[in-house]
Amino acid sequence: MQMTYLEAIADAMRHEMRRDDNVFMIGEDIGTYGGAFKVTKGFLDEFGAKRIIDAPISEAAIIGSAIGASLNGMRPIVEMQFMDFITNGFNQVVTVAGTTAYRWGLPVPMVVRGPSGGGVGGNPFHSRNSEAWFAHATGLKVVCPAFPDDAKGLMIASIRDNDPVMFFEHKGLYRKIKGEVPEGEHIVPLGQARVVRKGTHCSVIAYGSAVHMALAAAEALASEGIDIEVVDIRTLVPFDQETVFESVRKTGRALVAHEAVLTAGFGGEIAARIADIAFQYLDAPVRRVAAFDSPTPFAPTLEQAVLPNAEKIQAAVRELCNF
């Protein structure tokens, strides 16, 4: 069935809520209003106010109570109205959720999800890509889908997972990306990258919105005779080192791309791993394309300038291929 990225996420959550009474949702304005982006439109009617909880503006209490509920056998899905507001519940995520399995051997099967990313005039406080913080926090799985079918399959896998999952939806993809999505049960296991375009000259390793930039770059580069492979890593934690390794071994060149700011971003992790495990196969430096190290600015001229895009990826690939 053709679905937008947003519909695929809603479909996954609806599927799981129908299937398992222990799944419930908590967040701001997710009930009557159906969420700021209308991801949970119709959920209140179908599942009632006990399972679709409109919470006060208290991110720490929202996440903390979800952790408590998950310790008591539930599988909460927490919506952050914007992923930016996770900074208000940060302590709950990294201090409590991310350490519980290690300390107590108890599962915290919670999904924290919401819109992240820029490119839509969101301003510095509605555009952040913060996935790397959580990848560096221990005990948290980190998921960044790029396509509707993955968004659905990864969401179902995340809800069923026994560990806390940070699920980053890219708000720019919500209604822009449409694709075929399997109906009913559809699971994409966490920890598996996906080669979304086969190619021979250079591997572009990306996730989230950057996968689409890479695919656009691939089209443009193809006309120049440069044939790139695009690997969508899909989940940052667990990280599928094998698939990345296979691709780089084959192409001998690696470009890492993400929308988050460059410094200490997850691209550093990917590039470092490539420079370690695939070193002898490399014919060129490992390079990264990412956002400039600034908050995401509001005015479209500035925002476009600082964010990565297909052209920047093209230019970098060209450099690597001419190395």
Partner 1 sequence: MKSTQRSSGKPASKSTSLLTADQRKELLSYMLMAREFDTAMLRLYRQGKAFGGVYSQLGNEAVSVGSAYALDRDRDVLFPMHRNIGSHFVFGQDLDQLMVNHLAREGSQMRGTDGTGHYADPARRIYGNVSHLGAMIPVAAGFSLADQLRGITTVSLTFIGDGGAQVGEVHEALNFASVHKIPLILIIENNQYAYSTPNSLEFACERLSDRALGYGMYGTTIDGTDVELVYATCLEAVERARRGEGPSLIETRTMRMRGHAEHDDFSYVPKDLLEEWATKDPVETYITRIVRDGVMTADEVKALRETTLATMIASIDRALERAWPAPEEGFKNVFMSI
Ligand X SMILES: Cc1ncc(C[n+]2csc(CCOP(=O)(O)OP(=O)(O)O)c2C)c(N)n1
Q: Does residue 241 belong to the site contacting its own copies (CB under 8 A)?
A: no
Q: Does residue 322 belong to the site contacting its own copies (CB under 8 A)?
A: no
Tell me whether residue 258 is one of the annotated catalytic residues. Answer: no
**Residue number with CB closer to its own copies (215 or 260):** 260
DSSP run (H or E) holding 166: strand 165-170
- Distance (Å, rounded) from C-alpha 301 to C-alpha 305? 6
Q: 184-218 burial by CB neighbour count: b if 16+ within 10 A, else e?
A: eebebebbbbbbbbebebbbbbbbbbbbbbbbebb
DSSP summary character for residue 86? G
Q: What mask of x and - would describe binding to partner 1 in positions 186 to 205, judged by CB under 8 A?
A: -----x--------------
> ∠ at Cα 128 (124, 132), nearest 5°?
145
Q: Does residue 207 belong to the site contacting its own copies (CB under 8 A)?
A: no
| Radius of gyration for the chain, computed over Cα atoms and rounded to the nearest angstrom | 19
Q: What is the dihedral of CA 294, 298, 302, 306, to 10 degrees?
A: 40
Residue spans of alpha helices (H) in the chain: 5-19, 43-47, 59-71, 90-91, 100-104, 131-135, 148-160, 209-222, 241-251, 266-277, 300-306, 310-321
**Residue number with CB closer to its own copies (216 or 281):** 281
DSSP summary character for residue 173? T
State in angstroms the smallest separation of the CB of 81 from ligand X.
Answer: 5
Q: Does residue 57 belong to the site contacting ligand X (CB under 6 A)?
A: yes
The stretch among 39-47, 89-97, 209-217, 225-233 that binds its own copies (CB under 8 A) is 89-97
Task: Estimate to the nearest angstrom the gap between the alpha carbon of 95 and the chain centroid.
Answer: 21
- Distance (Å, rounded) from C-alpha 317 to C-alpha 314? 5
Residues 66-125 that bind partner 1 (CB under 8 A): 66-74, 76, 84-85, 87-88, 91-92, 95-96, 99, 101-107, 121, 123-125
The stretch among 65-73, 151-159, 228-236, 312-320 that binds partner 1 (CB under 8 A) is 65-73
Q: Does residue 92 belong to the site contacting ligand X (CB under 6 A)?
A: no
State in angstroms the smallest separation of the CB of 242 from ligand X.
Answer: 39
2 binds, among partner 1, ligand X, its own copies, none (CB under 5 to 8 A by kind): none
Residue selected from 7, 28, 131, 149 as contacting ligand X according to rule CB under 6 A: 28
For residue 32, give the 3-state DSSP assignment: coil
Query: At what angle are helices 209-222 and 310-321 packed, to 10 degrees?
Result: 60
User: Residue count at the site for its own copies (CB under 8 A)?
Assistant: 50
Strands 254-261, 202-206: pairing kind = parallel
Determine the longest span between alpha carbons in the chain, in angstroms: 60
Q: Does residue 266 belong to the site contacting its own copies (CB under 8 A)?
A: yes
Residue selected from 2, 32, 58, 95 as contacting its own copies according to rule CB under 8 A: 95
Q: Does residue 85 belong to the site contacting ligand X (CB under 6 A)?
A: yes
Close Cβ partners of 251 (under 8 Å, ≥ 6 residues apart): 199, 200, 201, 202, 203, 228, 229
Structure tokens at 319: 């450099």
Residue selected from 58, 185, 198, 323 as contacting partner 1 according to rule CB under 8 A: 58
State in angstroms the smallest separation of the CB of 240 from its own copies.
Answer: 13
Residue selected from 109, 208, 265, 308 as contacting its own copies according to rule CB under 8 A: 265
- Using CB under 8 A, list all residues that contact its own copies: 84, 87-88, 90-91, 94-95, 98-99, 102-103, 124-125, 132-133, 135-136, 138-139, 236-237, 239, 256, 260-261, 263-269, 271-272, 274-277, 279-280, 282, 284-288, 293-295, 297
Task: Please give the positions annotated as active site.
Answer: 126
Contacting positions for ligand X (CB under 6 A) = 28, 57, 59, 81, 85, 88
